[in-house]
């Protein structure tokens, strides 16, 4: 178990820089999720920590040791891959034991650790099977088992759940979280799925185009997103963005509607309101022309446009609700639920 | 199962076509075999008849056994074929792995250079090869043949194997690296087992021309103690008289080992071992 420090980390392929000066302190036992759209550099970052990609500049420390030049095998890490990457010609037992055998650990010790991991992951009945005889979820567990038996300082997960079906994914998500809490191993988990990120991580690192947009707890990211990118990425359905002008605490929307409590900003801003923070109020200032209602049971999603404009909006209302297309409904933002962002840079403006 | 696919008529026709093809392919072998057990007269009177009490004779085999050291020729052919295949597969696979796995300057050029050998027949260089073998004192040794056949087999081996190795999942190799496997262990324990079908293909492609080759044994190793089977059989084929019994018997015996090797490799061809490696 160890802390991880990323200092001024840069990765470039030739002249193209794909990761720009990434900084991060990860403390011992923490579960960090790196999240972002595909191509944002999150896998590259993970592979750099694993030692599968070289570091262009900056340092990576695991514990107190700078590991930039160390081989993956010498970094005391274990990695779970998206495709499981099990050795196809070895049984489940051999798959888990192979890394230990290479490290010349005694036979008894290997057997003990493999059995222990098999018990934790409920893999005991499958120990003698080959990977191709297992289902996706079982293969994923074997891949986890291979990581656990090594007893490493750091777990690295590279989108481990994206090949599983939706139900299994939810179940495995919980299992991974429980397992990590039980073992207390520092973990870095890469995903593009924001729900996975929110539920798993102690802290989230949101990457976009190779830049760290924000690094904080899920609730921080949800409540106080640092940029429009984070605001739009975290939370589902995504936040509504409305261009507006602010003066003296009053925001004026594109269609002339006026909202109070817009904070200290001045001039052109982007106003963000989460779909779940709009409360129905016939006299409310935010008027939406309904186009479609999605009934999800627990809540209803109302898709439409801000009245008189072309700005798409989504509103989430608890319970059942129906509305014909074309009706106009009024909403009022909940208290303190307005987010203001600089219109050009997209940076958050604190109220 | 799909109804159209399990249609009995289709099955019958499919099997009929395959059986017919098998018969056509095996017919020459069959003719060689039956005629090798007939007297010389019977061979020419009725080439397609099975040997009966009258025409049955093992004279061909007896001649082969008496004439020259046939077991030695056999052994030479076997040694040359097996050793050449071993080196072709070993070096071919290693080169293919380097070309497909590592990014280095000139990777592309190196690959093209190695593939060029497929297009240029090695026999063009016979004179130079002979001079080289004379200079190094390898003439009339089996090593001369092994080296030449290895060189001859490598281009195609590298070409086919590098294509297959590119398909081996990167994650698998990386998992090995994180598990602490050395590059050699990754190559031998993870990658090679996964490209076994491709290795078998390369082996079969290379084996038959090597076994049957007459050119290089005749030029590089015609000495009695290094004669290969094909070269050894030539003593029965004269300009004016050919001992057909002996030729056919020698051929029948020459088919056997190559058949055995083929069966060994072809079992690997069928097996799709990669299933289950990745989703």
User: pLDDT tens digits, residue range B262-272?
Assistant: 888 777 665 54
Q: Which two tokens mark A278?
A: 């709009």
Query: What is the Cα–Cα distance from A63 to A72, expressed in whole angstroms?
Result: 15
Alpha-carbon gap: A324 to the closest alpha carbon of chain B (Å):
45
For B159, half-sphere exposure in the C-beta direction (CA atoms, 13 angstrom radius) is 14
In sequence order, the 6+-apart residues with CB closer than 8 A to the CB of A28 are: A1, A2, A3, A186
Nearest by CB: B171 against A83, A89, A133: A83
Cβ contacts of A134 on chain B, cutoff 8 Å = 276
Per-residue pLDDT tens digits for A308-347: 888 999 999 998 888 888 899 999 988 888 899 998 888 9
Sequence length of chain B is 279
What fold characterizes domain B68-270? MetI-like fold (1.10.3720)
The Cα A42–Cα A50 span in angstroms is 12
Mutate to test the interface with B, among A98, A110, A145, A151 (most CBs of B within 10 A): A98
Q: Single out the residue of B227, B226, B216, B223 nearest to residue B124, CA to CA.
A: B216
Least confident of A25-39, A130-144, A254-268, B219-233: A254-268
Task: Report which DSSP code applies to B253.
Answer: H
**Tens-place pLDDT, residues A47-70:** 999 999 999 999 999 988 999 999
Predicted local confidence at residue B275, as pLDDT: 40
- Residue B277 has a pLDDT of 43
The closest CB to that of B180, out of A85, A102, A134, belongs to A102
Residue A73 to residue B279, Cβ atoms within 8 A? no
Q: Three-state DSSP class for B91?
A: helix
- The DSSP 8-state label assigned to residue A251 in this structure reads E
Beta carbons of A77 and B185 less than 8 Å apart: no
Q: Domains in chain A, ordered, with CATH? A: 4-230 (3.40.50.300), 240-349 (no CATH)
Asked whether the predicted pLDDT for residue B278 surpasses 60, the reply is no
Contact list, A139 vs chain B (CB under 8 Å)? 279
> pLDDT tens for residues A83-117?
888 998 899 999 999 989 988 999 999 999 999 99
- Residue identified by tokens 């409904």 is A329
Q: Residue B276's pLDDT is what?
A: 40
* pLDDT more than 70, % of chain A: 100
Of A51, A136, A146, the CB nearest to B279: A136
Q: Which residues of A touch B271 (CB under 8 A)?
A: none
Does residue B16 sit at the A interface (CB-CB below 8 Å)?
A: no
* Percent of chain B at pLDDT exceeding 70: 93
Whether the bond into A237 is cis, omega within 30 of 0: yes
Q: Which of A83, A160, A161 to mutate to test the interface with B (most CBs of B within 10 A)?
A: A83
Nearest CB to B180: which of A73, A130, A158? A73
CB contact B175 to A (< 8 Å): yes
d(CA A179, CA A117) in angstroms, rounded, equals: 11
List the domain boundaries for chain B.
8-57, 68-270
For A132, which of B172, B179, B276 is closest by C-beta distance?
A: B276
Reply yes or no on whether the pLDDT at A30 is more than 70.
yes
User: Structure tokens of A247?
Assistant: 């003066």
């Amino acid at each position: 178990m160890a802390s991880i420090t990323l200092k001024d980390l840069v990765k470039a392929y030739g002249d193209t820089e794909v990761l720009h000066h990434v900084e991060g302190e990860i403390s011992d036992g923490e579960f960090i999720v790196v999240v972002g759209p595909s191509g944002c550099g999150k896998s590259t970052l993970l592979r750099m920590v694993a030692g599968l990609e070289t570091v262009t500049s900056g340092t990576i420390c695991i514990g107190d040791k700078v590991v930039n030049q160390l081989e993956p095998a010498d970094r005391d890490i274990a990695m779970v891959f998206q495709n499981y990457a099990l050795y196809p010609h070895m049984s489940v037992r051999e798959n888990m034991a192979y890394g230990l055998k290479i490290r010349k650990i005694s036979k008894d010790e290997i057997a003990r650790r493999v059995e222990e991991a098999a018990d934790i992951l409920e893999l005991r009945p499958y120990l003698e099977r080959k990977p191709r005889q297992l289902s996706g979820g079982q293969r994923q567990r074997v891949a986890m088992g291979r990581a656990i038996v090594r007893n490493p300082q750091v777990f690295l997960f590279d989108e481990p759940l994206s090949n599983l079906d939706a139900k299994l994914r939810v179940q495995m998500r919980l299992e991974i979280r429980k397992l990590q809490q039980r073992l207390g191993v520092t973990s870095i988990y890469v995903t593009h799925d924001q729900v996975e990120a929110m539920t798993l991580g102690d802290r989230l690192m949101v990457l976009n185009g190779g830049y760290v947009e924000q690094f904080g707890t899920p609730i921080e990211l949800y409540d106080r997103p640092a940029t429009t990118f984070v605001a739009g990425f975290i939370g589902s359905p995504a936040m509504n963005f409305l261009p507006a002008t602010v003066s003296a605490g009053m925001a004026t929307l594109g269609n002339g509607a006026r909202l109070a409590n817009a904070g200290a900003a001045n001039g052109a801003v982007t106003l963000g309101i989460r779909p779940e923070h709009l409360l129905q109020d016939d006299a409310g200032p935010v008027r939406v022309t309904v186009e479609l209602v999605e009934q999800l049971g627990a809540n209803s999603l109302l898709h439409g446009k801000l009245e008189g404009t072309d700005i798409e909006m989504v509103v989430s209302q608890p319970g059942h609700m129906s509305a014909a297309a074309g009706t106009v409904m009024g909403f009022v933002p909940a208290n303190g639920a307005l987010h203001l962002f600089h219109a050009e840079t997209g940076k958050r403006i604190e109220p | 199962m799909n109804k159209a696919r399990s249609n009995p008529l289709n099955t019958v026709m499919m099997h009929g076509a395959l059986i017919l093809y098998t018969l056509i392919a095996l017919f020459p072998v069959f003719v060689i075999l039956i005629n090798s057990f007939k007297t010389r007269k019977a061979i020419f009177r009725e080439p397609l008849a099975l040997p009966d009490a009258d025409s049955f004779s093992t004279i061909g085999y007896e001649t082969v056994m008496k004439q020259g050291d046939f077991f030695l020729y056999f052994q030479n052919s076997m040694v040359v074929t097996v050793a050449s295949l071993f080196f072709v597969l070993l070096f071919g696979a290693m080169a293919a792995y380097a070309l497909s796995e590592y990014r280095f300057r000139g990777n592309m050029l190196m690959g093209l250079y190695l593939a060029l050998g497929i297009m240029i027949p090695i026999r063009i260089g016979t004179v130079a090869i002979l001079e080289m073998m004379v200079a190094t004192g390898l003439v009339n040794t089996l090593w001369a043949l092994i080296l030449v056949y290895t060189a001859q087999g490598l281009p195609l081996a590298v070409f086919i194997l590098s294509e297959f190795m590119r398909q081996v999942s990167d994650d698998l190799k990386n998992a090995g690296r994180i598990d602490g496997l050395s590059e050699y262990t990754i190559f031998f324990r993870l990658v090679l087992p996964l490209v076994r079908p491709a290795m078998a293909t390369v082996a079969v492609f290379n084996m038959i021309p090597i076994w049957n080759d007459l050119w290089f044994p005749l030029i590089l190793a015609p000495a009695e103690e290094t004669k290969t089977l094909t070269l050894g059989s030539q003593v029965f084929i004269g300009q004016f008289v050919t001992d057909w019994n002996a030729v056919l018997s020698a051929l029948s015996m020459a088919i056997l080992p190559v058949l055995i090797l083929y069966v060994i490799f072809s079992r690997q061809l069928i097996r799709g071992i990669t299933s289950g490696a990745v989703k």
